Structure 1
């Protein structure tokens, strides 16, 4: 979730997944791409249903749903029709199963290649949902798919088996992010360690290096800057670390040094972040973590200045970068990227408000918080709530009037409640 964070923005009003129009109708397409199992998993993820919930609605067993979504079994006509009815797909989902039934006996085991490609698309969709709506709408789907893939892994052979374990490792790593966002750092660490184990089964050692970056972030939000710096150093020195992972480690180190009040060490870490980022610009997308070259180094610097209590400099940097929202598309294209997902937007908006409160511009700060609170409540992110707590602590030192005090109290109730 912590892509490089972002500013401003809103999230569409939440809709009850069970009452929403079928996803393919609202998106202007029919069914999402993929074979029957992948489409079934995608639709279930979009609805926020667990395997058990879909099985209940289709009146089939949990195991049947798992086998269908993993591609290990083909649907019978009756099961395909039942799943179609559960989603109100009007026969389209059942028809998707028909071509496979013509040439392949029902319940035959299929090869794992399409499973990997399909679930990579599902993971991208789940990440998009998680960035905009928070962990509660994706966690059940993540756990269900992890169960499906871990069941499928031992049944594949050769390179396909390794592919499945690498894929399930990425699901476990993202489940760790969502556990952290839900306010459960212990579960986040458990999923992170599991991702390392499963990645090793697939021959991917880079996940072990990236896991140290994740542990640095978890320690940072736990308030243990010393541990965060230690984990970031281990990540940068890990034999499997690539420039992307080293850049992410330097970023975590910079933010941890800033929270410690060590401006010189923070500056050196920011320089390393810039140097490693320059190594990967134009390269292929990293296997782990966000594209660091899409991060905005000045926003990261602004966040560090905020932690160092250099409020005026932080406010100026935030204003310069976040003002890009008022520019034309062509002008924005000349600036470093500002991630657009709602979680990051809320995080940076709160940081900007905290900096403004720090320089005595409490009215401006409260206007930002007032506009952002609905988004913060909707995504219900533990990391964003922690940022909101920082705003409350700063704002309460500024002698707010009754109207602003009510907003600060409401912010505190959500941040610490």
Structure 2
């Protein structure tokens, strides 16, 4: 059993299990089980001996499963006939809109959202995007048929799924799709009576602009988010963080420091606030690492390297994506301060992770390392590593 299977409570293919399937129709369950295993569509199709097109059609809800295909999927996942039984329900036409009580649906999909976020942070967008899209389809169908408070709860959950789907689209290198899903999150959040998503969406747009290299747009969106009537301390802290990084990339050290102070102030105000929020929990944003990242953008390489060295190991977030990004930033700071050998050791250890998670934001950081490393005198082994990094960054 691999680590993903173990964490998800599943078993190897061909072995029976009594583990309850995740909630949802056949396509959603299929996509969620595949994401838990860390299987690509191609890998799952190979194990089930069906075509990749069939898997995509099933997960997106375009087709209902035939008994033979359901049995093949059941065998691949080792679900002991549960998928075959679920397929029979799907063929009888049971849909999300037939659910009368929203509570179990919302609770079940909230658990799946947390699980998919954990998988996405560790394995990248390729393993969770199909699941996210399938579930948003079910939730929006259910929201259209619900009334009153139940309707609001379903639309709010659909908004959360849309926001994270937008983040995964950005991680996949598709900013236009990221913006589309972010705008859907705003619309669906409004259906649920929550205007704070509109404020947080401006933070997301600032982040998207940051990776386009449009620093003016970064600062503009961050300022709009901070001044939005629905912004709470968490959102204002996220906005200040984006503003600080925008000012740093423009070379404005004074404005960057002011934004960092706002971030610390709003973050302190938000700590312990357990009300519903958008985006990652603010306590996961280590102030020293954020300051180090800003110093890197300001080309204060030695200071940035010292800050990363002091904070990177004990304080970096636990997921693979964040570890990779901060590790590469540390390497870039080291390269900029003339310590290319130390920088290359870090990058060499991080490249396998970046290949696995296939994150556009991590590859962008790798591109910054390559730019800085190429300004330094490098030996043959270092040149080979820099070239390999460049090839991965530009993939």
TM-score in terms of structure 2 length:
0.84
Could you tell me how far apart the structure 2 residues matched to 1:78 and 1:106 are? Answer: 18
- 1:342-361 superposed matches below 5 A: 342-361=320-339
Match for residue 292 of structure 1 among 275, 282, 291: 282
1:341 to 319, 325, 338: 319
After superposition, where does 1:137-286 map in structure 2 within 5 Å? 137-284=127-274, 286=276
Report how far residue 239 of structure 1 moved. 0.4
Name the stretch that deviates more: 266-275 or 116-125. 116-125
1:121-175 Cα deviation digits (max 9, x unpaired): 1111111111111111111111111111111111212111111111111111111
The one of 347, 357, 362 equivalent to 1:379 is 357
8 Å contact 2:11–2:77 — kept in the other structure? no
Unaligned runs of at least 5 residues, structure 1: 1-11, 66-76, 325-336
Q: Is 2:362 aligned against 1:390?
A: no
SS at structure 2 position matched to 1:124: helix
Residue 117 of structure 1: how far off its partner (Å): 1.0
1:31 and 2:13 matched: no
Question: What's the secondary structure of 2:333's corresponding residue?
Answer: helix
Asked if residue 315 in structure 1 is aligned to residue 293 in structure 2, the reply is no
What does the per-residue CA deviation read over 1:262-283, in whole Å, with 9 as the maximum and x for residues that have no partner?
A: 0000000000000000111112
CA deviations on 1:338-368 (whole Å, 9 max, x unpaired) are: 3110000000000000000011110000011
Q: Is the 8 A contact 1:48 1:140 kept in 2?
A: no
Match of 1:404?
382
Could you list the per-position Cα deviations for residues 224-245 of structure 1 after superposition, in whole angstroms to 9, with x for gaps in the alignment? Answer: 1111000000000000000000
State the Cα deviation string for residues 277-317 of structure 1 (Å, max 9, x = none): 01111120642001112221000000000000001110000
CA RMSD of aligned residues (A): 3.5
**Cα shift readout 1:362-387 (whole Å, capped 9, x = no counterpart):** 00000111111011111111111111
- 4+ long deviations beyond 4 Å: 12-15, 20-23, 32-41, 47-58, 61-65, 77-86, 92-98, 105-108
1:358 to 1:33, Cα distance in 2 relative to 1, 3 A: same
Higher relative contact order (CA 8 A, sep 6+): 1
Q: How many residues in Structure 1 have an aligned counterpart in Structure 2?
A: 374
| Deviation for aligned residue 1:57 | 7.7
Q: d(CA) in 1 for partners of 2:34 and 2:160?
A: 19
Distance 2:86 2:56 in 1: 19
Change (3 A) 1:117 1:394: same
**Corresponding residue for 1:369?**
347
**Conserved? CA contact 1:36–1:97, under 8 Å:** no
Unaligned runs of 5+ in 2: 45-51
